[in-house]
Amino acid sequence: MASDHCGYAAEEKPDQDFAHAGNGLPGLDALLPLLLDGVLSGGWLTAADLVRLTAAGPAEAFGLPDKGAVAVGRHADLVVVDPGATTVLAAHPPGPASAASPYAGRRLSGAVQHVVRRGTVLVRDGAPVAGPDAGGRPARRQVPAW
């Protein structure tokens, strides 16, 4: 599972000139809500798949032995969701070069309520309460060139 967040300013995505528009679209902020919706309403993804694709698999691929699972000795990295809530995706994703989102206004089942990284609360009741570097950055092994 991967997300290539690639935001562009409006002038870089001309309405009538698809062949010359920059490739990609904003969407990193939509990855977890879209996958969570797949678990809760679409049935095309299981909760175990969601954990494997967004936590366990990336931790293994990037050599992060303290990440990817809730277990004694691992970092306290947690995302708490409310399966009964609804998320409505923003028309203009965060970021200086994000003109618009193809997911704008889409209503999804479930909502992220709390995010904890290394024991530090980053999001509480759906709102950020700490900066992006709170909780530190993980050390990782060198990933081999493909």
Instruction: Tell me the C-alpha to C-alpha distance, in Å, between residue 24 and each of 5, 12, 27, 94.
Output: 7, 11, 9, 15
Mean pLDDT of the 100-113 span: 87
Could you give the CA distance from residue 97 to residue 44 in angstroms, rounded to a whole number?
Answer: 32
Q: Which of 4, 29, 77, 82 is catalytic?
A: 4
Mean pLDDT of the 113-119 span: 91
Mean pLDDT of the 52-68 span: 90
Q: Is 125 a catalytic residue?
A: no
From the CB of residue 79, how many other CB atoms can be counted at a distance below 10 Å? 17
Could you give the CA distance from residue 8 to residue 39 in angstroms, rounded to a whole number?
Answer: 30
Q: Which of 58, 78, 69 is nearest to 118 (CA)?
A: 78
User: Can you give the pTM of this predicted structure?
Assistant: 0.75
Q: Are 59 and 141 in contact (CB under 8 A)?
A: no
Q: What share of the chain is helix, strand, coil (3-state, %, to 5)?
A: 25, 20, 55
pLDDT score of 27:
72
Mean pLDDT of the 93-113 span: 78
- At residue 100, the 3 state secondary structure works out as coil
**Selected residue with higher pLDDT from 91 and 123:** 123
